[in-house]
Amino acid sequence: MTGWRFKVMRLIRSRSIEPSSEVRERFGDLHGLYHVAGGSGRRFGDGPMHEITDEGWLQTLRLNLDSVFYSNRAALRVFLEQGQGGSILNCGSVLGFSPSPHFFSTHAYATSKAAMVGMVKSSAAYYAKEGIRVNLLCPGLIATPMSERAQTNQPIMDFIRTKQPLDGGRIGVPQDLDDAAALLLSDGARFITGQVLSVDGGWTVSEGQS
Protein backbone atom coordinates (compact mmCIF):
# COMPACT_ATOMS: atom_id res chain seq x y z
CA MET A 1 0.00 0.00 0.00
CA THR A 2 3.03 2.28 0.12
CA GLY A 3 2.51 5.33 -2.06
CA TRP A 4 -1.26 4.95 -2.34
CA ARG A 5 -3.26 8.09 -1.65
CA PHE A 6 -5.47 6.43 0.94
CA LYS A 7 -5.05 5.12 4.43
CA VAL A 8 -6.97 2.16 5.77
CA MET A 9 -8.76 2.31 9.11
CA ARG A 10 -9.67 -1.01 10.73
CA LEU A 11 -11.52 0.27 13.77
CA ILE A 12 -14.98 -0.21 15.17
CA ARG A 13 -16.37 3.07 16.49
CA SER A 14 -18.28 2.94 19.75
CA ARG A 15 -21.27 5.20 20.27
CA SER A 16 -19.41 7.11 22.97
CA ILE A 17 -16.54 8.21 20.70
CA GLU A 18 -16.70 11.32 18.55
CA PRO A 19 -15.55 9.66 15.31
CA SER A 20 -14.24 12.67 13.41
CA SER A 21 -11.85 13.88 16.10
CA GLU A 22 -10.72 10.34 16.95
CA VAL A 23 -9.89 9.45 13.36
CA ARG A 24 -8.12 12.76 12.69
CA GLU A 25 -6.05 12.38 15.84
CA ARG A 26 -4.91 8.87 14.99
CA PHE A 27 -4.60 8.97 11.19
CA GLY A 28 -4.74 12.51 9.87
CA ASP A 29 -6.78 12.64 6.66
CA LEU A 30 -8.72 9.46 5.97
CA HIS A 31 -9.26 8.17 2.43
CA GLY A 32 -10.42 4.58 2.91
CA LEU A 33 -12.07 2.18 5.33
CA TYR A 34 -11.79 -1.60 5.04
CA HIS A 35 -14.17 -3.15 7.56
CA VAL A 36 -13.30 -6.78 8.25
CA ALA A 37 -14.53 -7.15 11.83
CA GLY A 38 -17.13 -9.84 12.51
CA GLY A 39 -17.45 -13.44 13.57
CA SER A 40 -19.51 -16.51 14.25
CA GLY A 41 -22.39 -16.37 16.71
CA ARG A 42 -22.51 -20.11 17.37
CA ARG A 43 -21.13 -19.72 20.87
CA PHE A 44 -23.98 -17.35 21.70
CA GLY A 45 -26.71 -19.61 20.32
CA ASP A 46 -26.87 -18.99 16.57
CA GLY A 47 -28.08 -21.84 14.40
CA PRO A 48 -31.20 -22.82 12.45
CA MET A 49 -34.00 -20.29 12.94
CA HIS A 50 -36.09 -22.43 15.30
CA GLU A 51 -33.07 -23.06 17.55
CA ILE A 52 -31.61 -19.55 17.76
CA THR A 53 -31.62 -18.19 21.30
CA ASP A 54 -32.45 -14.57 22.05
CA GLU A 55 -28.82 -14.02 23.00
CA GLY A 56 -27.67 -15.79 19.85
CA TRP A 57 -29.76 -13.47 17.68
CA LEU A 58 -28.83 -10.22 19.41
CA GLN A 59 -25.13 -10.94 19.89
CA THR A 60 -24.65 -12.18 16.32
CA LEU A 61 -26.28 -9.08 14.85
CA ARG A 62 -24.28 -6.87 17.20
CA LEU A 63 -21.04 -8.58 16.20
CA ASN A 64 -21.62 -8.52 12.45
CA LEU A 65 -24.08 -5.71 11.72
CA ASP A 66 -23.78 -3.12 14.49
CA SER A 67 -20.00 -3.12 14.05
CA VAL A 68 -20.16 -2.31 10.34
CA PHE A 69 -22.76 0.40 10.94
CA TYR A 70 -20.62 2.21 13.52
CA SER A 71 -17.40 1.99 11.51
CA ASN A 72 -19.10 3.09 8.26
CA ARG A 73 -20.89 5.97 9.96
CA ALA A 74 -17.63 7.17 11.49
CA ALA A 75 -15.82 7.05 8.15
CA LEU A 76 -18.65 8.79 6.29
CA ARG A 77 -18.68 11.65 8.78
CA VAL A 78 -14.98 12.18 8.26
CA PHE A 79 -15.25 11.92 4.46
CA LEU A 80 -18.02 14.52 4.40
CA GLU A 81 -16.07 16.84 6.68
CA GLN A 82 -12.94 16.52 4.54
CA GLY A 83 -14.85 17.03 1.30
CA GLN A 84 -12.43 14.88 -0.71
CA GLY A 85 -14.52 11.78 -1.31
CA GLY A 86 -13.40 8.39 -0.04
CA SER A 87 -13.80 4.63 -0.37
CA ILE A 88 -15.48 2.16 1.97
CA LEU A 89 -15.08 -1.57 1.53
CA ASN A 90 -16.97 -3.95 3.81
CA CYS A 91 -16.44 -7.68 4.16
CA GLY A 92 -19.61 -9.77 4.08
CA SER A 93 -20.14 -13.42 3.19
CA VAL A 94 -21.62 -15.50 0.39
CA LEU A 95 -23.92 -16.96 3.05
CA GLY A 96 -25.85 -13.69 2.94
CA PHE A 97 -27.35 -14.69 -0.42
CA SER A 98 -26.08 -18.20 -1.25
CA PRO A 99 -27.00 -20.50 1.66
CA SER A 100 -25.57 -23.89 2.50
CA PRO A 101 -28.30 -25.52 4.60
CA HIS A 102 -26.52 -28.74 5.50
CA PHE A 103 -23.16 -27.51 6.77
CA PHE A 104 -23.59 -23.77 7.46
CA SER A 105 -27.02 -23.28 9.03
CA THR A 106 -26.39 -20.17 11.12
CA HIS A 107 -29.35 -18.01 10.23
CA ALA A 108 -28.60 -14.98 12.38
CA TYR A 109 -25.16 -14.79 10.78
CA ALA A 110 -26.65 -15.09 7.30
CA THR A 111 -29.19 -12.40 8.12
CA SER A 112 -26.47 -10.01 9.28
CA LYS A 113 -24.49 -10.55 6.09
CA ALA A 114 -27.56 -10.14 3.88
CA ALA A 115 -28.36 -6.85 5.61
CA MET A 116 -24.93 -5.57 4.64
CA VAL A 117 -25.94 -5.78 0.98
CA GLY A 118 -28.78 -3.34 1.59
CA MET A 119 -26.59 -1.06 3.67
CA VAL A 120 -23.87 -0.94 1.02
CA LYS A 121 -26.17 -0.36 -1.94
CA SER A 122 -28.28 2.31 -0.28
CA SER A 123 -25.19 4.10 1.05
CA ALA A 124 -23.47 3.90 -2.31
CA ALA A 125 -26.47 5.49 -4.01
CA TYR A 126 -26.79 8.28 -1.47
CA TYR A 127 -23.14 9.30 -1.19
CA ALA A 128 -22.04 8.90 -4.83
CA LYS A 129 -22.61 12.61 -5.44
CA GLU A 130 -20.03 13.31 -2.73
CA GLY A 131 -17.43 11.17 -4.47
CA ILE A 132 -17.73 8.48 -1.81
CA ARG A 133 -17.73 4.87 -3.00
CA VAL A 134 -19.12 1.94 -0.98
CA ASN A 135 -18.60 -1.69 -2.00
CA LEU A 136 -18.85 -5.18 -0.48
CA LEU A 137 -16.56 -8.20 -0.68
CA CYS A 138 -18.26 -11.54 -0.04
CA PRO A 139 -15.84 -14.42 0.58
CA GLY A 140 -16.59 -18.08 0.43
CA LEU A 141 -15.03 -20.33 3.06
CA ILE A 142 -11.67 -18.81 4.00
CA ALA A 143 -9.00 -20.28 6.28
CA THR A 144 -9.21 -18.03 9.34
CA PRO A 145 -9.53 -18.71 13.08
CA MET A 146 -13.30 -18.30 12.70
CA SER A 147 -13.49 -21.24 10.26
CA GLU A 148 -11.45 -23.72 12.35
CA ARG A 149 -14.56 -25.84 12.98
CA ALA A 150 -15.05 -26.29 9.25
CA GLN A 151 -11.36 -26.82 8.53
CA THR A 152 -11.19 -29.78 10.90
CA ASN A 153 -14.41 -31.38 9.62
CA GLN A 154 -13.65 -33.81 6.79
CA PRO A 155 -17.19 -33.95 5.35
CA ILE A 156 -17.17 -30.15 5.09
CA MET A 157 -13.77 -30.17 3.40
CA ASP A 158 -15.03 -32.80 0.96
CA PHE A 159 -18.02 -30.55 0.25
CA ILE A 160 -15.78 -27.53 -0.31
CA ARG A 161 -13.86 -29.40 -3.01
CA THR A 162 -16.99 -29.32 -5.15
CA LYS A 163 -18.57 -26.12 -3.81
CA GLN A 164 -15.40 -24.04 -4.36
CA PRO A 165 -13.97 -25.92 -7.37
CA LEU A 166 -11.64 -23.18 -8.59
CA ASP A 167 -7.90 -23.77 -8.20
CA GLY A 168 -8.21 -27.45 -7.42
CA GLY A 169 -11.19 -27.19 -5.09
CA ARG A 170 -9.68 -25.68 -1.97
CA ILE A 171 -10.54 -23.54 0.97
CA GLY A 172 -9.69 -19.88 0.40
CA VAL A 173 -6.89 -18.01 2.14
CA PRO A 174 -6.86 -14.34 3.19
CA GLN A 175 -4.47 -13.50 0.35
CA ASP A 176 -7.23 -14.43 -2.12
CA LEU A 177 -9.07 -11.31 -0.98
CA ASP A 178 -6.11 -8.96 -1.04
CA ASP A 179 -6.04 -8.02 -4.72
CA ALA A 180 -9.79 -7.43 -4.83
CA ALA A 181 -9.62 -5.31 -1.69
CA ALA A 182 -6.65 -3.33 -3.02
CA LEU A 183 -8.49 -2.60 -6.27
CA LEU A 184 -11.79 -1.55 -4.71
CA LEU A 185 -10.09 0.77 -2.21
CA SER A 186 -7.81 2.37 -4.78
CA ASP A 187 -8.29 5.04 -7.42
CA GLY A 188 -8.30 2.20 -9.97
CA ALA A 189 -11.92 1.61 -8.88
CA ARG A 190 -12.88 5.28 -9.10
CA PHE A 191 -15.93 4.40 -11.24
CA ILE A 192 -17.09 1.44 -9.15
CA THR A 193 -19.62 1.74 -6.32
CA GLY A 194 -22.51 -0.22 -4.87
CA GLN A 195 -21.07 -3.53 -6.03
CA VAL A 196 -21.15 -6.92 -4.29
CA LEU A 197 -18.11 -8.97 -5.34
CA SER A 198 -17.94 -12.65 -4.44
CA VAL A 199 -14.41 -13.95 -3.91
CA ASP A 200 -15.45 -17.53 -3.39
CA GLY A 201 -13.65 -20.02 -5.61
CA GLY A 202 -16.92 -20.66 -7.46
CA TRP A 203 -19.21 -21.12 -4.43
CA THR A 204 -22.09 -19.08 -5.84
CA VAL A 205 -22.04 -20.84 -9.23
CA SER A 206 -21.57 -24.43 -8.01
CA GLU A 207 -24.00 -26.95 -6.55
CA GLY A 208 -21.54 -28.65 -4.22
CA GLN A 209 -21.86 -32.33 -3.35
CA SER A 210 -21.93 -33.52 0.25
Active site residue ranges: 109
Q: Quick one: which of 45, 63, 185 has its CA closest to 115? A: 63
Closest CA to 138 of 182, 176, 94, 180: 94
First and final CA of the chain: distance in angstroms?
A: 40
Per DSSP bridges, beta strands 196-199 and 86-91 are unpaired
171/28 Cα distance (integer angstroms): 38
Where do the H-state alpha helices sit in 1-42?
A: 19-27
